[in-house]
Amino acid sequence: MNTTSPESIDNYTSLWQDNIPHIAWGSVLLFIGYILGYGLIITLTTQGILPYPIASFFCIYLAYVGFTIVHDAGHGSIIEEGSLLKPIESIMGWISAVPLLLLPYSMFKHIHNRHHAYTNDPERDPDHFSFGKKWYQVALNCLFIPLKYHIMAHTTLRHDPCIRRTHLTSLLYFLVIGFSITILMTSGFAKDVIYLLLIPNVFAVFILALLFDYLPHHPHKSLARYHNSRVYPSKWLNFLLLGQNYHLIHHMYPKVPWYLYRNVYLQTLPDLIKRNAPIEDIGKGPRAGFLRSPHVKSLQPDGAAINRLLAVDKVEQLTDESISVKFKLPNNQPLKFSAGQYLTISKCFDGKQVTRCYSICSSPKENDLTIAVKAISGGLMSNFLNNKLSPQQELIVKGPYGSFIYPPAHEKRTELLTLIAVGSGITPILSILKTSLFTEENTRIKLIYADENKSSLMFYHQLEQLKEQFSQRFQIHYVLKDNRELVHAMQGRINKSALKVLLADLTTGRKNDILAHTDFYFCGATELKRDLLSIFDGKINDTRVHTEQFTQSLASPRGRLHKIDIKIANEQSHTISVASNQTLLEVALANDINLPHGCSSGHCGSCICKVEQGKANNICDDVAGLSRAEKAAGYVLSCQCKPLEDMKVFINL
C-alpha cells in the first residue's frame, strides 16, 4: 500500500540547504555567552552583589539559552556530519543540559527526534498534550514533560535501540548531578543550589514546554508538514526567543541552526503563503492574530487532502460484523475526493502503529465523510473500530488515495454502469453508485452484490431505498450463498457462471453494441476481472474495466537484487537483499531488522547512515533530513536510499 502523497517541488524547497554552515558560529558564540553568563551570575551572587531572586530570574533565561544549544546539538546542526570536530557538539550538548536537570542530552536527542517524526500524533509524539484543554491541565503537562520522557524511555520505547543505548549515559549523568548537588547542599551552598539551579529549572522547563510544544502546535491536530506548527514573524521575538517564533521553519528544516530560521522564513515566504502555512501576527498586523490562523483548523490545501486527527461524529451498526464511521470535518469544510477513493486510518497497538485502508462510502455530493469497516478475524484495526470506537474519539486520517474513481478517467460517456461488489467491497461501490445516481441522469446502473446471506449485506436498506427512488435507472442483483432470507436473490457464489447469467443482456442480442459505452467497476477477488473479460471475449475495452486493489507496502523487487551489509554500532550486523526500486529501510523492516527511523519520508533525519562502500540513488536537496554537506560526506537516509550496487552502510546509534 502506497499512501505517500508527494508534494509538488518548486524553487523554494531546497533553499534551506544554503543556510547550513559547516560550523554554526552563532550557536558556538551562544554557548560561550551561556558559560560566561552563568560564571558572572554565580560570581555576583556569591559576592553579595546580585540578590538571589534577581539572579534566579537571569538563570531562568540562561537555562532557556542552554536548551537552545542542547536542541541544536541534538539535531546535529552545530557542526556538520563527518567533521573531526563533531564530538565537541555533543560536549556542548551535555554541558548545556545540566541546568535542565531531568533532561540528559543523549536521551533528549532521540526522544526529541521522535517529536519531529510524529508531530501531533497523540500516541507517538512524546510532546503531544493529552491532559485536556484547561489552563491548569496545560500547565501540569508542561511541568510533567521531562518525567514523561523517562516513562516513555522505559515503557513504550524500551525496545527502541537508540533509546536503549542512552540508559547507561543517563544513569551516569544522574549519578554525577545527584552527587554534585548533594555535595554543594551539604557544603553550605544550599541557597545557591535552590535559587540558581532548582527554581530556575522548574520555571525554565515550564516556559520551554509552553513555547516549544504547546503554543506552536496548538490545537495539535494537523500532521501535515506545512501545518503542524506555526510562525510568529517578529525581529524582537526572534531575538528574545532565539528563533523559536519561527517554529514551523525548524520543523520543516531541522538541520538549520536557530539563528538562521528567520532567513529561511523570508526566503521561503512565497511558498509558505502558497501552501496556506499558519503565519500569525502578535498584536496588530495584516495576518491572523495569535493562535487564530484558520489554516491550522482547515483541510489543506483547500480541502483537497487530509492528514490530521479527526473526531468521530457517528458510529452506525450496519451488520453484526460491520459499522459505518462518520467523521467531523474541521469547520464543516468538505473533503474533495472522487467516488471510489479510500482513506487510511492509523492507530498504535502494543506500541506499534497499524495503518489500514478503508474506502469512502459517502458520495462527494453529500458533503460528509464516511467509511465502512467490516471486522476481520484477528484484525487489530477492524476489531478495534467495530468493538471500541465511539463518537468524539479521534483517529489519524489521511487521504484521499486511489485511482479507482468515478467518473472514469477516460472521459467518455457512460450509458450503462455495471457495478460488482463482493462483501465489504460494497463500500467504494456505494460511493460510485450514489455519485452516478445524483449526477448522471442518462446513465443506467446495474449492481451485482455478493455475500454470505441477507444479514451480512452492508447498506442493504440504503440500497433498497435507492432502488425505489431511482427505479427507472437502477437495478440490483444479489448473489448469496444462503438466500433463505432473500428468496429472489441468486443462490451460490459470484463466479464466471453467475456473471454469464447476470450479464446475459450484454453478451447476446442487439444490445451488444452498448458495450462500447459501458463501464465496469468491481471490488472483490482479482480473478473476477479475468472472468469478466473472458465472458465478453475481447468485446470490451480494457480501459472500461476498473478494479480496486490495495498494493503491498513493500514494493516488489524489480531487476537485480543488491547485497547490503548493515553494521549497527555495538549491535549485530545484518545482510539483506534490496532492489533498486526499494528502499533500504522498507526491506530491513520487512525482515524484522529494527533500524532507527521516524517519519519514513526524509524529513526528520532519524535514519541517517554512512555509506562505506557502494553507490545509491541521489537524494534530492528538498529532502529536509539530509544536508548537502552530509551527502558529500557519504551519508544517506535509509528511508530514501535505493541501492544501485552492492553496499556497506554503518549506523551510529
Model confidence pLDDT, tens digit, residues 437-483: 999 998 999 999 999 999 999 999 999 999 999 999 999 999 999 99
Q: Dig out the grid coordinates for 276 from the structure.
A: 496556506
- Domain assignment of residue 360, yes or no: yes
β-sheet bridge partners, residue 539: none
Model confidence pLDDT, tens digit, residues 337-363: 999 999 999 999 987 888 899 999 999
Structural domain total, the chain? 4
pLDDT at position 516: 81
**Nearest 10 degrees: Cα torsion 134, 140, 141, 144:** -170
Q: Is 507 left (phi over 0), alpha (psi -120 to 50) or beta?
A: alpha
pLDDT at position 553: 56
pLDDT at position 11: 64
Q: How far apart are CA 280 and CA 289, in angstroms?
A: 5
Q: How far apart are CA 485 and CA 93, in angstroms?
A: 71
CB 454 within 8 A of CB 490: no
Same domain for 420 and 497? yes
pTM for this entry: 0.88
Picking from 226, 249, 270, the residue at the C-terminal end of a domain is 226
Q: Dig out the grid coordinates for 495 from the structure.
A: 463466479
- Domain assignment of residue 232, yes or no: no
The H or E element spanning position 564 is strand 561-568
CB-based burial label for 66 (10 Å; 0-12, 13-18, 19+): buried
Q: Dig out the grid coordinates for 104 from the structure.
A: 540528559
**Residue 49 has what DSSP assignment?**
S
pLDDT at position 193: 96
Single-letter amino acid, residue 508: T
Q: Assign residue 352 the CATH number of its domain.
A: 2.40.30.10
Same domain for 88 and 166? yes
Q: How far apart are CA 342 and CA 43, in angstroms?
A: 65
Q: Dig out the grid coordinates for 23 from the structure.
A: 560550523
β-sheet bridge partners, residue 396: 309, 346
Q: How far apart are CA 366 and CA 265, in angstroms?
A: 39
The H or E element spanning position 288 is strand 288-289
Picking from 163, 193, 226, the residue at the C-terminal end of a domain is 226
**Nearest 10 degrees: Cα torsion 220, 222, 225, 230:** -50
Q: Dig out the grid coordinates for 436 from the structure.
A: 452516478
Give backbone dihedrals phi and psi of 333, rounded to 5 degrees, phi first.
-80, 120
Picking from 486, 512, 547, the residue at the C-terminal end of a domain is 547
Same domain for 445 and 532? yes
Same domain for 522 and 569? no
Identify the CA nearest to 432 among candidates 450, 419, 415, 444.
419
Continuous H helices in 78-224:
86-97, 105-117, 135-154, 161-164, 167-186, 190-193, 199-208, 215-217
pLDDT at position 554: 65
Same domain for 393 and 420? no
Same domain for 542 and 581? no
Q: Dig out the grid coordinates for 157 from the structure.
A: 520505547
Same domain for 29 and 83? yes
- Domain assignment of residue 168, yes or no: yes
Model confidence pLDDT, tens digit, residues 82-137: 889 999 999 999 999 999 999 999 999 999 999 999 999 999 999 987 666 788 88
pLDDT at position 514: 80
CB 518 within 8 A of CB 416: yes
Q: Assign residue 514 the CATH number of its domain.
A: 3.40.50.80
pLDDT at position 2: 37
Give backbone dihedrals phi and psi of 350, rounded to 5 degrees, phi first.
55, 40
CB 421 within 8 A of CB 478: no
In sequence order, what are the residues at sequence separation of 6 or more whose Cβ sits closer than 8 angstroms to the Cβ of residue 472?
A: none
Q: How far apart are CA 525 and CA 421, in angstroms?
A: 9
- Strands 635-637, 288-289: parallel, antiparallel or unpaired by DSSP? unpaired
- Nearest-5° Cα angle at 337, 336 to 342: 140
Q: Dig out the grid coordinates for 119 from the structure.
A: 508531530
Q: Dig out the grid coordinates for 598 from the structure.
A: 521516524
Continuous H helices in 523-592:
527-536, 584-590
Same domain for 475 and 521? yes
3-state secondary structure of 42: helix
Instruction: Tell me which residue has cell 520551554.
Output: 208
In sequence order, what are the residues at sequence separation of 6 or more whose Cβ sits closer than 8 angstroms to the Cβ of residue 20?
A: 77, 80, 255, 256, 627, 628, 629
Q: Assign residue 592 the CATH number of its domain.
A: 3.10.20.30
pLDDT at position 308: 94
Same domain for 509 and 588? no
Q: Dig out the grid coordinates for 153 from the structure.
A: 524511555
Which residues in the chain come in under a pLDDT of 70? 1-11, 130-132, 508-512, 549-555
Q: Which range of residues forms the domain containing residue 467?
A: 416-547
pLDDT at position 130: 62
Q: Dig out the grid coordinates for 514 from the structure.
A: 452498448
The H or E element spanning position 433 is helix 426-439
- Domain assignment of residue 187, yes or no: yes
The H or E element spanning position 74 is helix 52-74
Tally of CA atoms within 13 A in the half-sphere of 198 that contains its CB: 12
Identify the CA nearest to 331 among candidates 300, 371, 289, 376.
300
- Strands 280-281, 490-491: parallel, antiparallel or unpaired by DSSP? unpaired
- Domain assignment of residue 165, yes or no: yes
β-sheet bridge partners, residue 446: 418, 475
The H or E element spanning position 561 is strand 561-568
- Strands 444-451, 647-651: parallel, antiparallel or unpaired by DSSP? unpaired
- Domain assignment of residue 152, yes or no: yes
CB 536 within 8 A of CB 548: no
Model confidence pLDDT, tens digit, residues 163-212: 988 999 999 999 999 999 999 999 999 999 999 999 999 999 999 999 99
Q: How far apart are CA 276 and CA 273, in angstroms?
A: 5
Same domain for 60 and 177? yes
Same domain for 365 and 395? yes
Tally Cβ neighbours within 10 Å of residue 189.
15
Query: Exposed e or buried b for every residue in 419-450, given b needs 16+ CB within 10 A?
Result: bbbbbbbbbbbbbbbbbbbeebeebbbbbbbb
3-state secondary structure of 44: helix
- Domain assignment of residue 554, yes or no: no
Per-residue CA distances from 595 to 350, 538, 571, 587, 591 (Å): 18, 49, 11, 10, 11
301 prior amide bond cis, ω within 30: yes
pLDDT at position 550: 54
In sequence order, what are the residues at sequence separation of 6 or more whose Cβ sits closer than 8 angstroms to the Cβ of residue 243?
A: 68, 250, 258, 259, 260, 261, 262
Q: Dig out the grid coordinates for 593 from the structure.
A: 531488522
Same domain for 568 and 515? no
- Domain assignment of residue 379, yes or no: yes
